[in-house]
Amino acid sequence: MAVRVLIVDDSAVIRRLLGEVLASDPEIEVAGTAGNGLLALTRIPEVKPDLITLDIDMPGMDGLETITEIRKLYPRLPVIMFSRLTERGAVATVDALARGASDYVTKPTSSGSLEGAYEKVREELIPKIKSLCAGRGKFPRLVPAPVAPTRAAARIDIVAIGTSTGGPNALAELVPQFPADFPVPIVIVQHMPPLFTGLLAERLNSRAQLTVQEGQEGKKLESGQIWIAPGDRHMTVERKGGDVVLALKQDPPENSCRPAVDVLFRSVAQAYGAGALGVVLTGMGSDGTRGARVLRDAGGEVIVQDEATSVVWGMPGSVAAASLADRICPLAKIVPEVLRRVTFRRMLASAARAPLGK
């Protein structure tokens, strides 16, 4: 049965473009269209869509007001925002994600060809629709393998987090839970373009007890810090003398992503070995799986978010299916599990170094 999509956009040109893009896939059906937010709210019970694409800039009730109302009435209905890749569009998109939007797709620029715009939207939008509807019985799911056996491990000196679809809201829940005295730095890859990652860091920093910043070349990693990879840059960590510093690179995308979780995880494994803890949160695709294998091969551990609390169980599900997860946790238990492992393993390491009593 095809996925039914409601297209909401005040532009007839965009509605037609999206309609043609979606009609090109036999597993997707355009259930209807609406030219503004108020009309969209009346059409939802009529056409019963599986997913909505929602423009941000609309007269009357705009996309931000509309997503707020949709979440009151339909808390689990997937919504993909359609926004412009501008500073204003980035601000509005991050705000929409905070209000409960599932994901976003950026509008093609007017300078490109119609064919190029069509392909760009098709490549971005259709995989996201299928991923967001996988948990609704429309497409097959991943089956998790048994949790990896517990192993003896060194003290944890860094936490590396990877996420994509649903990540901004997951991070908004997790980041404020880390206490001000958390003893190790945290590095994060969230799949987002430039502008968006800086705004996300600012939003999280306003709510966090730790300092949250967008990654910067050569910055020394210390406790009390959370670094988010900038859009369109791979972020890695490197040892320089006795310090570990950030490095930003524009190497080719991996898993069609830049920044990529695999790139960060590999560098963390190389710099910290068994002292690394990886966390893979909600997201489409499989970015992070190969990096998780490298982390575990180096002696580190990996925690993944469970399916029930993930917007899309692609990335964490892929790690789990590969038998690379040391623990599968609901979102609310991720930080308590991280704190438990960091505290316990650092306590064991300190005890092992202490001189024996009489």
Tell me phi and psi for residue 334, to 5 degrees: -65, -55
Contact at 8 Å (CB) between 243 and 270? no
Among candidate residues 83, 102, 131, 164, the one labeled active-site is: 164
**What is d(CA 25, CA 38) in angstroms, rounded to the nearest whole number?**
28
**Is the full-model pTM beyond 0.85?**
yes
3-state secondary structure of 169: helix
Portions of the chain given CATH number 3.40.50.180: 158-352
339: exposed, middle or buried (C-beta count within 10 Å: 0-12, 13-18, 19+)? middle
Q: Is 234 a catalytic residue?
A: no
Portions of the chain given CATH number 3.40.50.2300: 3-136
Among candidate residues 131, 191, 234, 262, the one labeled active-site is: 191
As a residue count, the chain comes to 358
If we measure between CA atoms, which residue out of 59, 135, 62 comes closest to residue 93? 62
Q: How many CB atoms lie within 10 A of CB 41?
A: 17
Contact at 8 Å (CB) between 171 and 178? no
In the CATH hierarchy, which fold is given to the domain comprising 158-352? Rossmann fold (3.40.50)
- pLDDT in 10s for each residue of the chain, 358 residues: 789 999 999 999 889 989 999 999 999 999 999 999 999 999 999 999 999 999 998 998 999 999 999 999 999 999 999 887 677 888 999 999 999 999 999 877 665 566 777 788 889 899 999 999 885 544 445 555 566 665 556 789 999 999 999 999 999 999 999 999 999 999 999 999 999 999 999 999 999 999 999 999 999 999 999 999 999 999 999 999 889 999 999 999 999 999 999 999 999 999 999 999 999 999 999 999 999 999 999 999 999 999 999 999 999 999 999 999 999 999 999 999 999 999 987 777 676 666 655 4
- Return the exposure string of 246-285: e unless at least 16 CB atoms fall within 10 Å of the residue's CB, then b: bbbeeeeebbebbbbbbbbbbbbbbbbebbbbbbbbbbbb
Q: Is 113 a catalytic residue?
A: no
In the CATH hierarchy, which fold is given to the domain comprising 3-136? Rossmann fold (3.40.50)
